Amino acid sequence: MLILTIFLLFSLILLGQPSWVLGSQNSPSLAGQHTNPTAEQWAVYRQQMVVEQIRARGIRSPAVLEALLTVPRHRFVDSSLAQFAYRDYPLPIGYGQTISQPYIVAYMSEAAAISPEERVLEIGTGCGYQAAVLGELAQEVYTIEIIPELAEGARRTLQALSYQNVHVKAGDGYQGWAEHAPYDAILVTAAPDHIPQPLIDQLALNGRMVIPVGKWYQELVVLTKKPEGVSKQRTIPVRFVPWRSH
Ligand code: SAH
């Protein structure tokens, strides 16, 4: 409750500020703008996001950079927050959940090393933004969201943007989605305290799983399934919403 109150207060303070408080001096100033940005203007904000937040922090995969330049992130948040969609932080998407910071979406996508003919599973659809990025990188994307209203919202947004290769299901991601397994890559965007065994089982040979693990302290783990067994590599510390179960 306390955390929620602090978050709400912080959001209010943040949203009430003039745009220069929120961004670097040369970042686009959308606040106070009377007309809605055009498609070309949104593309400029995306370009700026990729240069300043993504490439500057070392993401090099051309396919990932291209996907972040392509997916209209502002369409995945409430219209009142659209002007903040390309900023360097997560945003609330309702039901106490958040859309991840752009850099984290890029980092996870690069760590998953996805090729165009591959099939990917995501756990934690949220608003569907990461799923759309995966849709740009892979052949088919299956994504599971535990909050039915968020699953429905993501389905609608993805449909409106014609992501026909992204399939959304409402449910608990712990059991994965056996029907379409095995997956070449699995991305998990809520943090469990251990790696669910069904997800390891549904990973293809040479498949990669990118998953935040931990309660208070979380680390992004990259798990690879090799003929000789499973290898785990701990990477950056992260802060994801907690894993939920029914
Ligand atoms: N991928 C999203 C991030 C959403 S936040 C993005 O693009 O920004 C993580 C989401 O995981 C939340 O919407 C939360 O409801 C969902 N979640 C938490 N536990 C889950 C579980 N056990 N199964 C499926 N989804 C879960």
- Residue 6, pLDDT > 80, answer no
Q: What is the SS3 assignment for 196? A: coil
Q: How confident is the model at residue 35 (pLDDT cuts 50, 70, 90)?
A: confident
Q: Ligand 1: distance of its center to the CA of 123 in Å? A: 6
What DSSP assignment string belongs to 85-114? TTSSS-EEEETTEEEPPHHHHHHHHHHTT-
- pLDDT (tens digit per residue) in 137-181: 999 999 999 999 999 999 999 999 999 999 999 999 999 999 999
Q: How far is CA 154 from the centre of its chain?
A: 12
Is residue 196 within 6 Å of ligand 1 at its C-beta? Answer: no
- Residue 19, pLDDT > 60, answer no
Question: What per-residue confidence (pLDDT) applies to 31?
Answer: 53
Question: What per-residue confidence (pLDDT) applies to 30?
Answer: 54
Which are the contacts of 191, defined by CB distance < 8 A and separation ≥ 6? Answer: 212, 213, 214, 215, 218, 238, 240, 241, 242, 243
- Report, as residue numbers or ranges, the catalytic residues: 100
CA dihedral over 3, 90, 149, 245, signed as positive or negative: negative
- Residue 34, pLDDT > 80, answer no
Tell me the average pLDDT across 88-94: 98
Question: What per-residue confidence (pLDDT) applies to 3?
Answer: 47
Q: Among 91, 101, 125, 169, say which to mutate for ligand 1: greatest number of ligand atoms within 8 Å of CB.
A: 125
